[in-house]
Amino acid sequence: MKITWFGHAAFRLDFADKVVLIDPFFTGNPSFHSTVEDASRGVTHILLTHGHSDHVGDTISLVEDAADASRTLPVVANPELCSFLAARGAGNVGRMMNTGGTLDAGGFTVTMVRADHSSGGDAKPAEYLGNPTGLIIKAPGEPTVWHMGDTDIFSDMALLAEIHQPKVVFIPIGDRFTMGPEVAALAVKRFLPGVEVVVPCHYATFPMLVPDASAFVAALEGHPVKVVVPPSGGSFEI
């Protein structure tokens, strides 16, 4: 599996014949240094953790571009978010699911799990867009990946790790809207004993967030987990 981070919480997973974008916040993302065309080339699925605009990102335009090319680009999201996207031009592409459920996306599965955050549209008044979630992606012969979404620490992370046995975790560290670096490191040490690789995210995008991952890396010094901190647009394989 090839993993690419595009800044903030946006990731791309390349495996087998799949190209999966998670929370594709490209346009308007000051940490995004690629092009939308390059980042989305060959995309087969979009997965969304929740409805905030810095996570929904370019979803609608990517779905519209696929339709113009006579392709259907499925979007996995909660029911409220699927309805929200359909009403704004994303068509009948939503693959709705909810917390605790598992969806067979064709060649891989997605499980929605708990995240402690909020979820809503940015218009005024804000529109409720379902509960925030994390996403666990499993594919034959590939490491299980857990994108935690936007969340604080919670002790049931240990139970989710026991159930799903993730090997790679994308974990928010930016503080103010999610865990900060030290708390995120505590979550790794206390609740994720079987995880092999952690990738910090949701930082350095805006001035309100932690500017770099150094405190997170320092807090995990001496711990056996591998911390990967790619530059925006950087990839690694596992």
How many Å apart are CA 15 and CA 140, to the nearest integer? 10
How many Å apart are CA 43 and CA 56, to the nearest integer? 15
What CATH class has 2-231? Answer: alpha beta
Residue entry with tokens 């350095």 = 204
Task: For 146-204, write each residue's pLDDT tens digit.
Answer: 999 999 999 999 999 999 999 999 999 999 999 999 999 999 999 999 999 999 999 99
Handedness of CA 41, 19, 111, 156 (dihedral sign): negative
The pLDDT value recorded for residue 184 is: 99
- Supply the pTM of this predicted model: 0.98
Query: In which band, very low, low, confident or very high, does the pLDDT at 89 lie, cut at 50, 70 and 90?
Result: confident
Query: In which band, very low, low, confident or very high, does the pLDDT at 125 lie, cut at 50, 70 and 90?
Result: confident
User: In the chain, where are the structural domains located?
Assistant: 2-231
Query: In which band, very low, low, confident or very high, does the pLDDT at 122 lie, cut at 50, 70 and 90?
Result: confident
The pLDDT value recorded for residue 49 is: 98
Query: What's the burial of 161, exposed, middle or buried (CB within 10 Å: 0-12/13-18/19+)?
Result: buried
How many Å apart are CA 86 and CA 106, to the nearest integer? 21
What is residue 235's three-state secondary structure? strand
What is residue 21's three-state secondary structure? strand
Query: In which band, very low, low, confident or very high, does the pLDDT at 219 lie, cut at 50, 70 and 90?
Result: very high
Buried b (16+ CB within 10 A) or exposed e, 92-118: ebbbbbeeeeebebeebebbbbbbbbe
